[in-house]
């Protein structure tokens, strides 16, 4: 794709090269890579995964397609084989169930039709959808926290301190949801307590909210009654209110209008179909202008040659 840079530092390595490096070096998170090698010995259907092999025998690396959260494939066959081949690895079952339910390749309907910055991107004559919608992210995070709890009850003692998601990561998610996505409902502490039964351990003070979660739900309901199917109008009003709140304590408010303009521009379309039609029209108009410019340049060159 355009604007994409690819860096592949081990592209020339064989699978054996990778495993030889791993078993000779310590990893930064403190676990023994030899244990990792032992884990992958059960990652193929026949349960065999030798490190030193002849050219006709697959090595451990062939059982793994990448990180477990990858959405480019529909099934994690290596993790499934690990669980099937070794009852000691059944603690990974909650993780596998989470992946199979939530990390799918067919998730277009669960994603915003806009990119992270609100722009519209066309590929193969259709919109490229962006980040997950708020409702889906909340449900996914709840499921991940529950999977973490379920795994803790089954894990071997030597890895019992392993977390699928850390408190620091949850704090950063909370910051992004409020500060960057303007989701002032501040749902993360509530969902954390709902799943774990504990208060969310975040000592960082959050800005006082002008509106309670009940007020925001009323706003959402009103927008829905007015035909706000995608929740775009609700998101716009919520963001405008939050932007104004952020500027209240500032001595200089010179950036306020620009910030509000960008918010309105980002929420210009109520539905994905409207946005896609506009983006296609803009793309085609730009292409037509480029073609005309090219034709004119070629004509000038021909005239100069004469």
pLDDT score for 145 = 97
Residue with tokens 């405008």: 240
Q: What does the pLDDT average to over 48-73?
A: 55
Is 14's pLDDT higher than 50? yes
For the entire predicted model, the pTM comes to: 0.76
| CB-based contacts of 235, cutoff 8 Å, min separation 6 | 182, 267
pLDDT of the residue at 29: 78
Cα gap 146→98, rounded to integer Å: 9
- Calculate mean pLDDT across residues 91-113: 88
Identify which has the larger pLDDT, 239 or 161: 239
- Report d(CA 50, CA 59) in Å as an integer: 6
Average pLDDT over residues 111-131: 91
pLDDT at residue 172 in the model: 95
- Cα dihedral 248, 250, 251, 252 sign: negative
> What mean pLDDT is predicted for residues 50-62?
49
> Most confidently modeled of 60-69, 80-89, 272-281?
272-281
pLDDT the model gives residue 132: 93
Predicted confidence band of residue 38 (pLDDT cuts 50, 70, 90): confident
Cβ distance 279 to 119 under 8 Å? no
How many C-beta atoms lie closer than 10 Å to residue 105's C-beta? 11
Q: Which 3 state secondary structure label does DSSP give 110?
A: helix
Give pLDDT, residue 78: 79
User: Does residue 295 register a pLDDT over 80?
Assistant: no
The values of phi and psi at residue 126, to 5°, are: -145, 160
Q: Would you state the pLDDT for residue 8?
A: 87
Using an 8 Å Cβ cutoff, are 116 and 130 in contact? yes
Q: 193: helix, coil or strand?
A: helix
| Beta partners for residue 122, in sequence order | 127
- CA distance linking residue 41 with residue 51, whole number of Å: 9
Rounded Cα–Cα distance for residues 252 and 11 (Å): 51
- Residue 202 sits at φ, ψ, to 5 deg, of -125, 110
Distance, CA of 190 to CA of 187 (rounded, Å): 5
Q: Give the percent of the chain with pLDDT over 90.
A: 35
Q: What's the mean pLDDT when you consider all of the chain?
A: 83
- Answer whether residue 258 shows pLDDT above 70: yes
Whether the predicted pLDDT of 43 surpasses 60: yes
Examine the pLDDT at 254 and tell me if it is beyond 70.
yes
The span from the CA of 185 to the CA of 188, in Å, is 9
Predicted pLDDT of residue 53: 45
Token code pair at residue 21: 């490096």
> Dihedral angle at the C-alpha atoms of 175, 177, 183, 189, nearest 10 degrees?
-70
SS3 224: helix
The average pLDDT across 2-10 equals 81
User: pLDDT band for position 217 (50/70/90)?
Assistant: very high
Residue 213 has pLDDT above 70, yes or no: yes
User: Mean pLDDT over residues 164-172, rounded?
Assistant: 94
Closest among 53, 54, 73 to 64, alpha carbons compared:
73
Instruction: Give 225's pLDDT tier (boundaries 50, 70, 90).
Output: very high
* Separation of alpha carbons 11 and 94, rounded Å: 32
């Amino acid at each position: 794709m355009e604007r994409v840079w690819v860096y592949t530092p081990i592209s020339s390595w064989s699978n054996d090269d990778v495993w030889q490096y791993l078993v000779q070096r310590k990893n930064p998170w403190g676990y023994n890579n030899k244990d990792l090698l032992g884990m992958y010995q059960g990652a193929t259907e026949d349960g065999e995964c030798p490190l030193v092999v002849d050219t006709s025998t697959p090595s451990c690396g062939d059982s793994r397609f990448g990180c477990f959260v990858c959405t480019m494939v529909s099934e994690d066959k290596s993790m499934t084989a690990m669980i099937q081949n070794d009852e000691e690895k059944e603690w990974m079952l909650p993780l596998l169930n989470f992946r199979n339910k939530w990390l799918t390749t067919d998730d277009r309907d669960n994603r915003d039709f806009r990119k992270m910055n609100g722009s519209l991107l066309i590929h193969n004559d259709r919109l490229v959808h962006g980040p997950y919608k708020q409702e889906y992210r909340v449900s996914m995070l709840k499921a991940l926290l529950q999977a973490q709890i379920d795994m803790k009850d089954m894990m071997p003692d030597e890895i019992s301190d392993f977390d699928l998601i850390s408190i620091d990561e949850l704090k950063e998610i909370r910051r992004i949801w409020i500060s960057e996505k303007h989701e002032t409902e501040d749902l993360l502490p509530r969902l954390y307590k709902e799943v774990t039964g504990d208060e969310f351990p975040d000592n960082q003070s959050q800005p006082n909210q002008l509106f309670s979660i009940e007020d925001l739900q009323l706003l959402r309901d009103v927008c829905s009654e007015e035909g706000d199917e995608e929740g775009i109008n609700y998101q716009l009003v919520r963001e405008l209110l939050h932007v104004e709140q952020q500027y209240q304590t500032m001595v200089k408010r010179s950036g306020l209008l620009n910030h509000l303009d960008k918010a309105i521009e980002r929420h210009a379309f109520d539905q994905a179909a409207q946005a896609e039609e506009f983006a296609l029209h803009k793309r085609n108009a730009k292409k037509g202008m480029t073609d005309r410019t090219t034709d004119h340049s070629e004509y000038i060159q021909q005239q100069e040659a004469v």
